[in-house]
Structure 1
Amino acid sequence: MSYIHGYDPETLREVVDPAECRYRLAEIGPQRSLPALLERVWLLKVLGELDEALTISEQAVRVARMAGTRKDLLRARVLHATVQQYRGAFAAADQELSTCIEESDGQEWTSITAFALQHRGKTRYDAGDYEGARRDFKRLLSLRQEMNAPDDQIEAAMAAVEAVERRRPRSSAAVVAG
């Protein structure tokens, strides 16, 4: 079951039903498996419980490093970076996501590259780096099309490109006016 009901066209953040997310958190409880930890991090993040999300994301990275695959570790690191993004630590999130993109590119793990690009683009968007976000979202769209990703993923990537395109003229005008 997907808890994402769409994306906010201005912030690009997931639109969720908080009650559904809280119910799922209760179902997961204190489970310590890597999938449960990653799901808890995401749920806490979208609910705005960022301190707890950060703590659990750090735990998930440790668990993935000790007992997971390299792909598991990359996924955990991407999720950890998204928590940093939500907390406003854009430079740290961007650096972590860039490292994940480089590693997944080197291994030709296209789905993980796309996942990390999506979140680096959102991080750059939040930080006001609309040109960097645009490059990431364009590459994301291209990768998803090449992978024959589900329509909703392609549509989300297209919406992200459109959102950053709407922002770019304003940022250019602000520079000229300043």
Structure 2
Amino acid sequence: MSYISGYDPDTLREKVSPTQCRDRLEEIGEQRSLPALLERVWLLKVLDRAEEALVVSEQSVRVARMAGTRKDLLRARILHATVLQALGKYSAAWQELTACAEEAEGQGWAGIGAFAHMHRGKVSYDDGDYEGARKDFKRALFLRQESGATEDQLESVLMAIDAADRRRAAASVAS
């Protein structure tokens, strides 16, 4: 079940039902499986509980490192970086996402590479680097197309590219 009903065209944040997210968080409880940890991190993050999400995301990275696959570890690291972004730690998030994108692409994992580039673009976007954001969004679009992504996934990237273009144009007019 997807808790995302869309994306805000200005902030690029997920639109979710807080009630559904809180209910799911309660349902998961303190489960310690990697999928449950990752879901809990995301739910805490979208509920603006980034400090709590950070603790759980660090735990998910440890669990993935000990018991998961390389793909699991990359997903956990990417999610951890999105929590760093939510906390305003853009440099650390960008560095982590860069390493994840490079590893994913080096392994030929286009879907995970797209995920990393999309989120690195969002970090750049939040940090005011709209040109960098646009480059990452374009790379994410290419990788999503390569991996056979759904129309919704492609639409969200196209919306992000459009948002970066709008912000870039507004910034150049203002200067």
Q: Where on the TM-score scale, by shorter chain, does this alignment land: which range? A: over 0.9
For normalisation by structure 2, the TM-score amounts to: 0.98
**1:155 match:** 155
The question of 1:17 aligning with 2:14 is answered no
How far apart, in 2, do the equivalents of 1:153 and 1:86 lie?
21
Aligned-pair CA distance for 1:171: 1.5
How far apart, in 2, do the equivalents of 1:146 and 1:68 lie?
25
The question of 1:123 aligning with 2:123 is answered yes
How far apart, in 2, do the equivalents of 1:39 and 1:22 lie?
12
Q: Secondary structure at the match of 1:97?
A: helix
Aligned length: 175
For normalisation by structure 1, the TM-score amounts to: 0.97
**1:38 match:** 38
How far apart, in 2, do the equivalents of 1:100 and 1:123 lie?
14
Q: Which runs of 4+ in 1 moved over 4 A?
A: none
* CA RMSD after TM alignment: 0.7
The question of 1:94 aligning with 2:99 is answered no
CA deviation profile, 1:70-116 (whole Å, cap 9, x unmatched): 11000000000000001100000000000001111111111110010
**2:164 match:** 164
The answer as to whether partners of 2:110 and 2:146 remain within 8 angstroms in 1 is no
The question of 1:114 aligning with 2:97 is answered no
Aligned-pair CA distance for 1:166: 0.5
Aligned-pair CA distance for 1:172: 1.7
**2:68 match:** 68
CA deviation profile, 1:30-53 (whole Å, cap 9, x unmatched): 000000000000000000011110
Amino acid in structure 2 at the alignment position of 1:145: Q
How far apart, in 2, do the equivalents of 1:68 and 1:144 lie?
24
Amino acid in structure 2 at the alignment position of 1:148: G
Amino acid in structure 1 at the alignment position of 2:49: E
Q: Percent identity?
A: 66
